[in-house]
Amino acid sequence: MLTRRNPRALFLGLATAAASAAAAALMAAPSQAASAKTAPATSPAAGRTILVSSEGHDGTTRMAAGQRPLATITKAIKLAEPGDTILVKGGTYVGAAGYGARPGRRNAPIRLRAAAGERVVIKGTLQLENADYWQVSGINVTRNPADGRKEFLVKFDGGTGWSFLNAEVWGSIGVSNLMVSSSARNGVPRDYRIAGNCIHDNNAVGGAFMNFHNIYLMPGYNSGPGVIERNTMFNSENGAAVKAAGPSAATGAADVRIRRNTITRSAAGVIVGYASRRIEVRNNLIAQQVVRAPAGAKYVHNYNAAVIGNHVSGSGNKVVSTALSGFPRLINNTKDSRTPVKGALTRRLTPIYTAGVSCSGYKISGAAARYGRFS
C-alpha cells in the first residue's frame, strides 16, 4: 500500500544527505589534488624520422623528411625536435654541422645516427651546443683541408645527458680532435658519455707546450659526471690521449671516469691539471709512448709517464688498475702540484698488436687483453 510522506521530513532528509555529501567531497578534495600532482606524466608521442642523403634536398620540410630526404646534416639538426631520429645515409658531407640544435628531453631524446651498415663522414666539424639528451652514433668526422686550422673537429658545449658513440674522429691540426667545454650561454655539461670511438692522429705541429690532444676536457669544475670508456686512441704525439685540464687555472674538469680505453703512441696517456677533481683513470691500457716534441718545446721533461699531474690543486684524482707498456713511469706529478694524482702501477706488459695501429681489427693479445677497450 502506498503511503503519503511528510513533506517536512522529506526536506530534512534531503538536506542532511546533501550536507553529508558536501562534507565528504571536501574531505576527498585534498587527496584528489595531491593525486593529480603526483600522477606520472604521459609518455610523449614518438617523434619523426628525418632522413638525410647526399641526393636529398634541403627544401624538404620536417613533416615530409621521412619520405623525402634532406641534403645536409646541418639542416636536419636545425629541424629536429624532441623525440626525433635523424637517420643519415652513407656518404661524405662537407661543411660545419650542428648549429641551431634544439635540446631534447630525458623521455624524448634526439638521435643522430648513421643508417645501418652505412659509413657516414662529415668532412669539416660537428659542434653541438646545449645538446640536452642528444644521442650521436656512427657519425664520423675528419678535417676538411680547405678549412685551415680548427681547434676541434667535434665539440660539445654544455648540455645534459648527451652521448657520442661508435664513431671515428681523426686528422685535427688544432688543439683537439674532440673537445668538451662550457660557456655562460650553454652552461656546463652533465651526465655525458663518450664511448666506443676510434679517435686518432692529431697532426698539429708548432707551439711550445705540446698541447695537441685527442680528447680535451675543459667543461668546468662544477660539471659532470662524465664517462670516457672503451675508446681506441692513438697518435697524439705532441700531447695526450685525454687532457682533463683547461689552458689556465680557470678551466678544467670534474667527476670524470676514464676507463677501459686502449691508448697508444701519445706523449702522455692522460693529463690531469689545475683544479680538476675526482678524475678516475681505471682499467686502461696505456702503451707505446712517442714524443714528437715541436721545436722550442717547453716542459718536455714532464712527459715521462702514462699519467701526468700538472699544477694539480684539485682533490680525489687517482689511477686504479691500469696496465702500462713503453712508458718509464705510471704517474708523474709536477713539483708544483699541491694535491698529487695518486695511484700505483698495476701491471707492466709487453702487448702484441695483431693488426697495427688502426681502428679496424686493432686487437691486443695475451695478458694485455684484460685491460683497455677490448677487456
Q: What is the pLDDT of residue 191?
A: 98
Q: Are 365 and 351 within 8 A, CB to CB?
A: yes
Q: Are 168 and 139 within 8 A, CB to CB?
A: no
d(CA 192, CA 233): 19
Q: What is the pLDDT of residue 36?
A: 36
Dihedrals phi, psi of 243, to nearest 5 degrees: -115, 120
For the chain, helix (H) and strand (E) counts, in that order, are 2, 26
Q: What is the dihedral of CA 308, 298, 210, 181, to 10 degrees?
A: 70
pLDDT tens sequence across 336-374? 999 999 998 889 988 887 777 788 767 788 888 889 998
Among 105, 104, 81, 92, residue whose Cα is nearest residue 141: 92
CB atoms within 10 A of CB 163: 21
pLDDT band at residue 131 using 50, 70 and 90 as cut-offs? very high
Q: What is the pLDDT of residue 17?
A: 41
Name 155's bridge partners.
Answer: 127, 179
Compute the average pLDDT of residues 92-101: 94
User: What length does the chain have?
Assistant: 375
Query: Which stretch of 55-64, 173-182, 194-203 has the lowest confidence by average pLDDT?
Result: 55-64
Q: What is the pLDDT of residue 65?
A: 73
Q: Which three cell numbers stand for residue 310?
A: 700538472
Could you please state the CATH topology (level 3) that the domain comprising 149-370 is classified under.
Pectate Lyase C-like (2.160.20)
Reduced to 3 states (helix: H, G, I; strand: E, B; else coil), residue 309 is strand
Q: Are 269 and 288 within 8 A, CB to CB?
A: no
d(CA 220, CA 245): 9
| CA distance readout (Å), 13 to 22, 23, 26, 27, 205 | 14, 16, 20, 21, 96
Bigger pLDDT: 299 vs 128: 128
Q: What is the pLDDT of residue 251?
A: 86
Q: What is the pLDDT of residue 338?
A: 95
Say yes or no to pLDDT of 27 above 80.
no
pLDDT band at residue 43 using 50, 70 and 90 as cut-offs? low
Q: Which three cell numbers stand for residue 263?
A: 691508448
Sequence spans of domains, the chain: 149-370
Query: Which stretch of 106-115, 131-140, 207-216 has the lowest confidence by average pLDDT?
Result: 207-216
d(CA 330, CA 322): 9
Query: Which stretch of 57-61, 92-96, 155-159, 287-291 has the lowest confidence by average pLDDT?
Result: 57-61
pLDDT tens sequence across 154-191? 999 999 999 999 999 999 999 999 999 999 999 999 99
Reduced to 3 states (helix: H, G, I; strand: E, B; else coil), residue 201 is coil
Helix (H) or strand (E) segment spanning residue 332: strand 331-333
Dihedrals phi, psi of 148, to nearest 5 degrees: 70, -155
Compute the average pLDDT of residues 68-88: 96
Averaged confidence pLDDT in the chain: 87
d(CA 178, CA 193): 13
Q: Are 260 and 370 within 8 A, CB to CB?
A: no
Dihedrals phi, psi of 269, to nearest 5 degrees: -75, -55
First to last CA, the chain: 91
Compute the average pLDDT of residues 252-277: 96
What's this model's pTM, rounded to 2 decimal places? 0.86
Q: What is the per-residue DSSP string for 291-332? A: --PPTT-S-GGG--SSEEEES---S--EEES-EEES-S-SEE
CB atoms within 10 A of CB 141: 28
Say yes or no to pLDDT of 29 above 50.
no
Say yes or no to pLDDT of 75 above 70.
yes
Order the strands of the 85-88 sheet from edge to edge.
Answer: 49-52, 85-88, 110-114, 134-137, 163-165, 192-195, 226-229, 254-259, 277-282, 318-320, 342-343
